[in-house]
Amino acid sequence: MTNYIMKLNPLMLGLSACLMLTAANAAEDTHQHEHVLPISDTHLHYSHDSVEMTPPERVIEIMREANLKLALVSSSDDNGTQLLSDLAPDLIVPGLRPYRKRGETGTWFKDETILDYVEALLEENSYATIGEFHLYGENAELPIPKRIVELAVEHNLILHAHSDAEAVERLLAQDPTVKVLWAHSGFDSPEEIAAMLGKHDRLWADLAFRSEVGSGGKLSEDWIKLFTDFPDRMMLGTDSYTPERMFYIPEHAESARQWLTSLPQEVAENVAWKNGHNLLMPVWNKNRIDGAHMAKSKHDSMSHGDHKHDTMSVDKVCNSAAGENDIVLRQQDSTIRLHPQGDIKVSEPLNVLLTLCGNNTENVELALDALMPAHGHGMNYEPVITEISRDNSAVQYQVEGLVLHMPGNWQWQVEVKTETGDETLQHDFNVE
Ligand SMILES: [Zn+2]
């Protein structure tokens, strides 16, 4: 770890960061994708046979080659999803597929043991969706699908349904808040999809395995009408339902980029990545932070008993020597301490306890960010900062969900906001 502290006027900092960025990009920035339209691929599977064929590291590489902004992955069994999610939490949005192995698409909705499987996974991990599951017509009213809808509501999950319009409507009717991502847009026509989207504001639709859309690199009028009439609701997917289709992700992204040029730029960006991002990320960010809390309190109650451990006394934080991994930044009459709650590892969500110790902290506020100065970018996730205590001599915050998604030189930036002006303190560090 390199260690230095600098004080900069935030305006100056912005300026110099911009200059640095231009120079760095021209010369040696490793991001080849600067001008390639990102894609949110909202329909991927990495099931057991696919895990056997392609290692998870390779899958992530394929996804990065395709310049995916995010990948919604659900797998039979769930192991493949977890492998990818562990490797690239900045990229993977996990979905819970209610299948233990290939071949349960036609039986799961009558199989009691599916619920045990699903509930055990919900205990263990966090997800954004439940699906992709296959369900048609009246089967949506069977007890197992009904319980799945309840679980979705309880756990803040979006249903990812490979269904006909009838089953989608039956699912939506079971709860006034439940949201559905309609897999393959039901293989329906643009007119039929439009009718459904017009009727249900809790419905979104993916275009997985719809190669007729934009075939030949251009969209037909009926599809253009659908996308422009519902600019916020349609998204893309490759559907890697067989192992070899994993390799088709970049090609799929590239062909979508072709036909998206038939649309006004704003709509094209929506369909390419923003709609998937806007639907999934708020849900996923909330669930993974809630999940981290649950895991932490479980862990603490098992191993410590005293689970106030990390947040216990601000006095102690301010008056004791800094721990091995702690960072102490000094201002004129105060110090700011960063206490990472765990090891700093690439792509692993990290929480930091941020404490300001001083004489007059009453109207001071802090914010924490991390960026890579050489690349001119920061984290892909926005961390959540919560004030946990405040008195005259100290203010303490918990910052959750920091994800340093690449190895290399990073920089903590602590913004100190006071009545007389703002100041930014920096600390350089390295992530291996
Ligand atoms: Zn499907």
User: Which H or E run includes 70?
Assistant: strand 68-73
User: In DSSP terms, which residues pair with 431 in a beta bridge?
Assistant: 408
Over residues 260-290, the pLDDT tens digits come to 999 999 999 999 999 999 999 999 999 988 8
Distance of CA 243 from the midpoint of ligand 1 (Å): 14
Provide the whole-model pTM.
0.67
Distance of CA 78 from the midpoint of ligand 1 (Å): 16
- CATH superfamily label, 31-295: Metal-dependent hydrolases (3.20.20.140)
Distance of CA 163 from the midpoint of ligand 1 (Å): 8
Distance of CA 162 from the midpoint of ligand 1 (Å): 5
User: What are the sequence ranges of the domains in the chain?
Assistant: 5-24+313-431, 31-295
Distance of CA 61 from the midpoint of ligand 1 (Å): 24
Cα distances (Å, whole numbers) of residue 241 to 46, 65, 290, 312: 8, 20, 30, 49
Distance of CA 184 from the midpoint of ligand 1 (Å): 6
pLDDT band at 209 (very low <50, low <70, confident <90, very high): very high
Distance of CA 199 from the midpoint of ligand 1 (Å): 23
Mean pLDDT of the chain: 87
Distance of CA 192 from the midpoint of ligand 1 (Å): 18
* pLDDT (0 to 100) of residue 295: 73
Structure tokens at 384: 């959540």
Nearest to 190 by CA among 169, 167, 207, 171: 207
Rounded to the nearest 10 degrees, the angle between the axes of helix 56-65 and helix 79-87 is 60
For residues 423 and 10, the answer to whether their CB atoms sit within 8 Å is yes
**CATH class of the region 5-24+313-431:** mainly beta
Distance of CA 231 from the midpoint of ligand 1 (Å): 23
Distance of CA 222 from the midpoint of ligand 1 (Å): 23
pLDDT band at 129 (very low <50, low <70, confident <90, very high): very high
Distance of CA 239 from the midpoint of ligand 1 (Å): 7
Q: What percent of the chain has pLDDT over 90?
A: 62
Q: What percent of the chain has pLDDT over 70?
A: 88
Phi-psi region of 387 (alpha: psi -120 to 50; beta: other; left: phi over 0): beta
Distance of CA 273 from the midpoint of ligand 1 (Å): 20
Question: What does DSSP assign to residue 38?
Answer: P
Distance of CA 372 from the midpoint of ligand 1 (Å): 39
113, pLDDT greater than 60? yes
Nearest to 70 by CA among 98, 46, 89, 48: 89
For residues 183 and 208, the answer to whether their CB atoms sit within 8 Å is yes
Distance of CA 249 from the midpoint of ligand 1 (Å): 16
Distance of CA 44 from the midpoint of ligand 1 (Å): 9
Distance of CA 228 from the midpoint of ligand 1 (Å): 25
Distance of CA 185 from the midpoint of ligand 1 (Å): 10
R_g of the chain, CA atoms, integer Å: 24
Over residues 145-187, the pLDDT tens digits come to 999 999 999 999 999 999 999 999 999 999 999 999 999 999 9
Distance of CA 420 from the midpoint of ligand 1 (Å): 57
Distance of CA 198 from the midpoint of ligand 1 (Å): 23
- From CA 164, how far away is CA 173, in angstroms rounded? 15
Rounded to the nearest 10 degrees, the angle between the axes of helix 249-260 and helix 56-65 is 20
- From CA 118, how far away is CA 44, in angstroms rounded? 19
- From CA 94, how far away is CA 80, in angstroms rounded? 10
Nearest to 190 by CA among 167, 209, 213, 208: 213
Distance of CA 431 from the midpoint of ligand 1 (Å): 39
Distance of CA 107 from the midpoint of ligand 1 (Å): 15
Q: What is the 3-state secondary structure (H, E, C) of 283-334?
A: HHHHHHHHHHHHHHHHHHHHHCCCCCCCCCCHHHHHHCCCCCCCEEEECCCE
Distance of CA 103 from the midpoint of ligand 1 (Å): 13
For residues 323 and 340, the answer to whether their CB atoms sit within 8 Å is no
